[in-house]
A and B are shown apart, each in its own frame.
Chain A
């Protein structure tokens, strides 16, 4: 994408590189910029299929205690070099945007992005249950055969910026700056937007802020940031296969499984293995207070703040007829005495809907040696919300198309299955 190369060059220009040496160098990671470099054809035939499939697995995770959490491995490199590191236990999350790595697992020496003002770019990422603080740096990302060059990523828990500003810590209850508290070595946000903030952060600053300009390890001021310098969904920076991604997981038996392996396929309708076919397309809102959300019809309610999210570890909805678990360890999950069969409908374009059936079993009777549970569900009392978490992904291909890109099934953002 031209935005990517503009960004790369602006940053490279600050370091007084000759542009040609960045985009057209023959060796190292730089050579794979290809058509995204804006320098014309690199001679690589676009008909040559790229390996666009990486394996993913629902597994125990780095702490050994994850449930219904999807992981993959990602290689990151110092931009333009072959100095790379492969990091495993990276969570695959369709509910966020961009790659974030836990700094303690990084062995690469990555310089922090410098803003035009001279400050260092540091980010405060707000999750519902905690905030993650750390600088933004550029890496070349390699997944499967795909390469995205000079991708802004967040380095969470980086010792160069040890303390989050008070403003950052005011949006969520605690910090998640270690592998133990984060529950992963990183997170690969492949949701349907290109940046984690987008247009708003190019011209204004939310409170609590997301991006900060730091003049020292502890002196940080909230700032606006150009879209291309924000943490980017790396998929959009692939030379091809950049309009979205598909998660393909096998079905899992009712009792669960110790380890479920599947595929993360990049691109939609770009190769023979990622065709849309006759998928059901669920549009998601593009902007405003409902960005990224869709509508679910459940128990006679219209839940307009719903979402489909591989980063949620269960189906989350509110149904007072299902018993909550008594155990504190599963305090927000359901524990019916026998499996409950339910259905809910996703609102599609126009007035049509797609009805999906699912079963809820007791969280307390889960096999403790398993990590994938198709019948796990929890309460979701946030108003108007139904969260189709990872169980929704079992036994199907779920495509996430990114805003600003189109596929044969339509314009992103959408989710299709």
Chain B
């Protein structure tokens, strides 16, 4: 299964990688260079780990609230995916950056399309957002399908 091989790959690469405090603190903003974004106030108290997975870099940021945000950056430094999980929603406006308005516009039809409060999917050629959960337990991911490095699938973005 794809997920199994992905997991094995993750375990291998994480064993090889060194988790370090990422000094060039950037916030995870989709589509932006990972180093271009000023430090966010919420990140000053965050725990940040970085690991290298060969075709992309992976930053895991545990916010003081317990919510874990991950950003995935291609070797050219651009963030192609962000994920989140935890007891509080993260700042999606900051994480999605210029894609937030597109997300918000696409989300407008959720109720009309029989969606409930706990699930929201946006599937467009340039943007995919998959959000779910409920109070005290939120989870989701957003990625730029056209910017996924070769060999990387949505299933790798957890």
Footprint of B on A, CB under 8 Å? 67, 69, 95-97, 125-130, 169-174, 176, 181, 183, 189, 191, 193, 196-198, 200, 204, 206-208, 210, 288-293, 300-301, 305, 307, 309, 311-314, 316, 328-333, 363, 378-385, 387, 389
Contacts and interface: CB of A to CB of B under 8 A. Distances in A.
Contacts of A328: 109, 113
Nearest to B43: A207
A307 to B, nearest CB: 7
Given A170-B92, A200-B65, A207-B65, A193 B115 contact: no
B51 interface: no
B134 A289 contact: no
Contacts of B131: 128-129, 382
B139 A385 contact: yes
Interface string B103-127: 1100111111111111111010000
B31 to A, nearest CB: 17
A289 B114 contact: no
A277 B63 CA distance: 42
Interface string B86-113: 1111111110000010011001111111
A382 B130 contact: yes
Q: Main secondary structure on chain A at its contact with chain B?
A: loop
Given A170-B91, A309-B134, A387-B132, A382 B113 contact: no
B121 A381 contact: yes
Q: Which 6 pairs show the lowest CB-CB distances between chains A and B?
A: A95-B134, A382-B132, A171-B89, A170-B93, A173-B107, A206-B65
Given A288-B66, A312-B116, 15 more contacts: A95-B135, A126-B135, A126-B138, A128-B119, A128-B134, A173-B107, A174-B107, A292-B136, A313-B114, A328-B113, A379-B121, A382-B133, A382-B139, A384-B139, A385-B139
B137 A67 contact: no
A385 B83 CA distance: 14
A309 B118 CA distance: 9
B22 to A, nearest CB: 19
A127 to B, nearest CB: 4
B39 interface: no
Nearest to B131: A128
Contacts of A305: 85, 133, 137, 139
B85 to A, nearest CB: 6
B117 A173 contact: no
A155 B119 CA distance: 23
A173 B90 contact: no
Given A126-B138, A128-B132, A312 B118 contact: yes
A127 B157 contact: no
6 contacts: A128-B131, A130-B107, A130-B117, A289-B68, A312-B119, A332-B121
Contact of B103 (A173, A197, A292, A379): A173
Nearest to B108: A174
Contacts of B64: 204, 206
A127 B111 CA distance: 13
A126 B89 contact: yes
A128 B117 contact: yes
A140 to B, nearest CB: 23
Nearest to B103: A173
A208 B158 contact: no
Contacts of B114: 67, 313, 329-330, 333, 363
